Structure 1
Amino acid sequence: MIKNLFKALSVFPLSVLHALGACLGWSVYGLSASYRRKIEIHSKIAFPDNESARLAAVKGSVQHAGMALLELPFLWGLSTQQGAARCTDITGWDVVERAQTKGKGIIFLTPHMGSFESTAQVFSTRAPITVLYRPNRKAELQNIIEDSRARDNVALAPTTLGGVKILLKALKRGEAVGMLPDQVPAQGEGVWAPMFGQPAYTMTLPGRLHHATGASIVLAIGYRKPGGEGFKLELYQGPESLSADPVEAATQVNAAMEKLILMHPEQYYWGYERYKSPKGQHGQQGQS
């Protein structure tokens, strides 16, 4: 059923899907009190003293969350070349070229914002990339994810020990890997580090991969253009090095994510449960 729905939606123009997605976003926002509460709490953490900026960020976020969902059938239904063609502008490619000359691989980091699904497609038209993802518990959705995300020059690595080994091998070949470091990791795979001043359980994987391979860190944003006009890939130099201390390294990564988020706060998904504790984790608690 879900697969048929995806196929049906994939034929619509991106502009239509984004318009429908914006409506969907507001519908969810209006119907779910818990979702509204999360957005309010998380946005106030980032904008404690600027209510007008916070409200503007929330307004955009509600719409972009819906757009992100409905653009998936469009992006996953296209070939790699077709999907990449929807990215009509790229800035900061020189950062990637400098990293490639070092030959030690690239760790792309992007938060839950904009069209992070489009970033790997764009890069894969130029070089191989392996993307970290969290497997879905529903078999039908998992099959769709594997069939749609895995494509020419794009490999998948699940959030398991085996997935980490896949990422390491890719970096040691001098290739790129991509991940969303604001994704809350499983118990024992993260540390508590500040995110907008609030303790957030943060993955240690970027630091571990960096120290194991010497890979360069590049920050990426798949900026969603208005009116369904496509996407813009923005690339920035990440930290030149990460601390050997896991908490300090996680703090560096979170600071980099904050920088990206504040560039386009209206495209960050403030409803994402960034401050939750993983199951079985004790110690510092974030608000959510």
Structure 2
Amino acid sequence: MRNKFALRLTNLLAASAVVAALLSGCSFNLAIPGVNQPPPETLSAPDISAGWNSIAGALSYDGRQPPYRLYPDGPLVKLVNNAAARDVSWAELMAFVKSDITDLNAYLPDRYMCGGFALDLHNAAEAAGIRAAWVAIDFIGESVGHAATAFQTTDRGLVVIDDTSSYSSGGRALGEAESHSYDKVAYIMIGRDYGVIPLEAAGSPLYNDYLAYLEQFRVFDEKRQAYEREAAAYEAELAGRTRLKEPEYSYFMSWHKRLQAMKEELNELGESLGSYYWESLGVVSEVKIYW
């Protein structure tokens, strides 16, 4: 008889679990009624062949404060702009967002919400000499809106960053690496789902990249489910035994190694998708950008 306590799959099963994180919107209507704005610029479609992003149909206001409150009965959004701020490259923007710690702030319902995150990132960027905008996003059939921060990069066009930290309790990382960031690149197209990709996994601001990311997640999720079925079958057949005779010992050892290989592949795939998989907040109906 031979001991094989390592044949137990408790850790493998736990590591495979994935719970989609839920990105929280603001739980109230942000807009202040009756505030007039000058005629905005309507943005054109992105130039996909050139890798230049935009949000077709989004309204862009220049030099105006957003007519929104940060939370119910709270203060107005107040952008602190820097006349010397400039547009930067995608790489420079990614480096700045990674260094900024706004995303680590606690999400406090009806006190510090998406609008506050977007405002603080905007003001921090402007203070660092990077031109930024505050973005209001509405969804079809929803009274709940959302806010994010936009940047006009010199080489990729419009980039929207969502650094709201709220996620559902019990949310799990896709891989085993511990996450220390909730920064996300937002993917926005009017009439389509609002999507985000963790900053470390985002390679472009174009919406097509988000669609490709969703396909990669679908493949990952299929492999995860296959692993969980196989692991459950292994545990059921092992039936809690820790001492096995040959040839049963070698049979389970071989099975265990296959499961370990499946787990390692899942972790690699999960880490390539970033720290979390975030569910969409809904289908975008309107986007307003305030520079």
Normalising by the residue count of structure 2, what TM-score does the alignment of the two structures yield?
A: 0.26
| Greater helix proportion | 1
Kindly name which structure, 1 or 2, has the bigger radius of gyration based on alpha carbons. Answer: 2
Which structure has the higher relative contact order (CA within 8 Å, separation 6+)? 2
